[in-house]
Amino acid sequence: MTAQRPRVLAVLPGFIPSTMITVVKPLVNLHRRGRIAARIVLESQAGQGDIAWADAIVFCRNTEPRHAALLAAARSRGTPLIYDLDDNLFELPLDCDDPSRVREASRRAMLEEYLRAATMVRAYSRPLAERVTAMNPRVVQCFAPVDLSLVPPEREARTPGPVRIVYATSRSEDVLCEVFLPALAEILKRHAGQVEAHFWGFRPPQVAALSHARHHGLICRYDRFLRRFSRAGYDIGLAPLPDDLFHRCKTNNKFREYGASRIAGIYSRNEVYGSCVEHDATGLLVENNAESWHDAIQRLIDDAALRTRIQRQARQFVAEHYSQEKFEDLFLAQIEQVAGSREHGAGSTEPTPPLPAGYPLDGSLPGFWHRLGNQAVRSLDTLRRLTPRQAWSALRWFLHDRSLAFWLRWRL
């Protein structure tokens, strides 16, 4: 590590909410505060100069074998590595549309190689931390943040009207909402004109038949989404989650968003939400069946005092436990710890693999075309697997990634 502020490189497969919340935003803020020098690139655009520049490198959701040379280059230089893991990529359900497709053996092996090589692995749940410890004991369990500067400090007044219920997701296909849709349909029918339902991102086919149901399109940029979402004046938020190994490794993202936005949330009773939600105080915990969801929704519609109390207390809890500033301070301490390990030889004990022959990692024109060709092959391979709706969503993410990558390079 240099005597100056540590130089931190983030090499990412894309700018999805996960990478934005736990990697991009905190690194950009630490850079602006003068605590680190940050550089953030897509793995398809990273070069040898980026690897050589860094005192520490952060990876997040990187599983693509075509970019294995980036990891090999970092290890050959002895650069400390942080792998940020907010999801159980080992047990992806069959209906999951995650683009990393870690179910494929080559990507699973690549993920395991990243995790074993890491100087530190940051996990966001107890089951996930335990899962990774078998491969690498250098695991720390972190909390995920929410940026309260994006949301209004007080609940904005709105004209009297229907109770507004919301469900938000960035998934292009979502089956989680099926657990509450029958209950919600019954409630909308019984309270016609008195209750509205709003769906952000995914639009379930059943919504077209529901009266007083609204759909809002996916907003790719997470900060923009949270600004608009928190100002929409929602009263009740729904957060279903199955109780299986994959979903127990999720972060409590809905609780942080709903709490920050002063929305009274209803959450599935499982480890993810049971570890942070106090029933009847900061939210309602329910079993995953239509009757329980119906009763909880109806209770919050009828009891305005309970709804208001949960909104206030959830906001206070989120502000105290998940602030952006606390998360950035923790990240900085971890960066300084791993960057310091370079001086003391405390990096990975794995043997350093050779760089793949003929892989141009420099900024030369052949290197540019090589990376562009790899990216095109991967993109075409992905598009062949997608439905038209998924392909359109993928195109939006692609354009978002490229524009944001250009902005980050220019800004930082």
Per-position pLDDT tens, the chain of length 412:
445 899 999 999 988 888 999 999 999 999 999 999 999 999 988 988 999 999 999 999 999 999 999 999 999 999 999 999 999 988 876 655 554 456 678 899 999 999 999 999 999 999 999 999 999 999 999 999 999 999 998 887 777 889 999 999 877 778 889 999 999 999 999 998 899 999 998 888 877 777 888 988 888 888 999 999 999 999 999 999 999 999 999 999 999 999 999 999 999 999 999 999 999 999 999 999 999 999 999 999 999 999 999 999 999 999 999 999 999 999 999 999 999 876 544 344 444 344 444 444 444 444 444 445 555 555 555 555 555 655 555 555 556 665 666 556 656 6
What 3-state class would DSSP assign to 30? Answer: helix
Determine how β-strand 120-123 pairs with β-strand 81-85. parallel
Q: Which domains does the chain have, with CATH numbers?
A: 7-145+324-411 (3.40.50), 148-321 (3.40.50.2000)
* Structural contact between residues 340 and 3, judged by C-beta atoms closer than 8 angstroms: no
Q: What is the model's pLDDT at position 380?
A: 54
Residue 357 has a pLDDT of: 43
C-alpha to C-alpha distance for 17 and 162, rounded to whole angstroms = 30
Sign of the C-alpha dihedral, residues 399, 175, 101, 377? negative
Helix, coil or strand: residue 195: strand
**DSSP classification of residue 175:** -
The two three-digit tokens of residue 274, written as one number: 């049971």
Integer-rounded Cα Rg, in Å, for the chain is 22
Spatial distance between the Cα atoms of 294 and 173, rounded to a whole number of angstroms = 23
Give the Å distances, CA to CA, from 263 to 238, 258, 296: 10, 5, 14
The H or E element that residue 84 is part of is: strand 81-85
Q: How far apart are CA 256 and CA 261, in angstroms?
A: 8
Q: Kindly state the tokens that stand for 184.
A: 């919600």
Per the structure block, which two tokens stand in for 321? 């436990």
Q: Which two tokens stand for residue 137?
A: 């004991």
pLDDT of amino acid 404: 67
| Helices 304-321, 253-260: inter-axial angle, 10-degree rounding | 110
| The two structure tokens encoding residue 117 | 């090589």
Q: Which amino acid, one-letter code, is at 186?
A: E
Contact at 8 Å (CB) between 192 and 115? no
Q: Where are the alpha helices (DSSP H) in 100-248?
A: 105-117, 126-133, 181-190, 222-230, 245-248
Q: CA quadruple 68, 69, 73, 74: dihedral positive or negative?
A: negative
DSSP string, 212-279: TEEEE---SSHHHHHHHHHTS--SEEEE----SHHHHTS--HHHHHHHHTT-EEEEESSHHHHTTPPB
